Amino acid sequence: MMLLVGLGNPGPKYAFNRHNIGFMAVDAIVHRHSFSDARQRFQGLTCEGVLGGEKVIALKPMTYMNESGRSVGEAMRFFKIEPQNVVVIHDELDLPAGKLRIKTGGGAGGHNGIRSIISHIGENFRRVRIGIGHPGSKDRVLNAVLGDFSKTEMKWVEPLLDAIVSEAPLLGEGRFNSFGNRIHLRLNPEPPKPEAKQKPASKIDKENGDK
């Protein structure tokens, strides 16, 4: 069993914030893969479903970002899920906008939601880090993460979320590297190879012995 956690802040005020892209990703996965209706428990909202043949509990903590670990810890203990089977999807300032990286363990990197989870369950969980880009200076960070995605940004947000949803079964299979690679290829398809130029007909005829 896997615990799939999306990080964000509850309520319509925050729904399209850059800080809420973890919520957005989990919502999209739950919808596309026909998870159960949401239930209020563990200080959050949970849905149950299957990804890649594995039972998955999807969780959105309703504690606000800075206390996310309380909700994650409760759900993990109830279902007796080990930290290595917890996957957290969250925004990442230190990645360029639209980039996705998988990481296991390590520190919080300044992310308060990840810091809270570490304090409750330790570091040994997987993170799906979605780059939102850094605003350039520390004093602009708060307004940036709590600001809504612009129309221009949604041009990369929507394809990225669609790719995450399409490749989500790989998370259930434990194929995390493949998950990251497939998403990269979906968003950055290789250009078609140029077709070999055909030789002029007259030249071909001569090579075939025609005069």
Which tens digits make up the pLDDT trace of 61-83? 999 999 999 999 999 999 999 99
Tell me: pLDDT of 45 over 60.
Answer: yes
Q: Lowest-pLDDT range, 51-60, 150-159, 167-176, 184-193?
A: 184-193
Catalytic residues: 19
**Confidence at 189, pLDDT banded by 50, 70, 90:** confident
**Count of CB atoms within 10 A of residue 14's CB?**
16
* pLDDT digits 0-9 by tens, 114-133: 999 999 999 999 999 999 99
Angle between helices 151-167 and 176-187 (to 10 degrees): 140
Over residues 80-97, mean pLDDT: 97
Over residues 46-54, mean pLDDT: 98
**Confidence at 206, pLDDT banded by 50, 70, 90:** low
Domain that holds residue 80: 2-207
State the Cα–Cα distance between residues 88 and 103, nearest whole angstrom: 10
* pLDDT digits 0-9 by tens, 151-172: 999 999 999 999 999 999 999 9
| DSSP label at residue 187 | H
Q: In what order do the strands lie in the sheet with 100-104?
A: 39-41, 44-51, 54-61, 2-6, 86-92, 126-131, 100-104
Instruction: Give residue 93's Cα distance to chain centre.
Output: 14
Q: Lowest-pLDDT range, 14-18, 50-54, 196-200?
A: 196-200
State the Cα–Cα distance between residues 97 and 68, nearest whole angstrom: 23
- % residues pLDDT > 70 (the chain): 92
Q: Where are the alpha helices (DSSP H) in the chain?
A: 21-32, 68-79, 112-121, 141-145, 151-167, 169-172, 176-187, 201-207
Number of domains the chain is built from: 1
Tell me: pLDDT of 200 over 70.
Answer: no
Please state the pTM of the whole predicted model: 0.89
CATH code, domain with 85: 3.40.50.1470
- Which residues partner with 55 through β-bridges? 50
- With b meaning 16 or more CB within 10 Å and e meaning fewer, what string describes 108-124? eeebbbbbbbbebbeee
Q: Please give the pLDDT value at position 194.
A: 75
Structure-token match 């080990």, residue found = 82
> Which pair of tokens denotes residue 169?
């079964």
**Confidence at 211, pLDDT banded by 50, 70, 90:** very low
Tell me: pLDDT of 201 over 70.
Answer: no
State the Cα–Cα distance between residues 37 and 8, nearest whole angstrom: 19
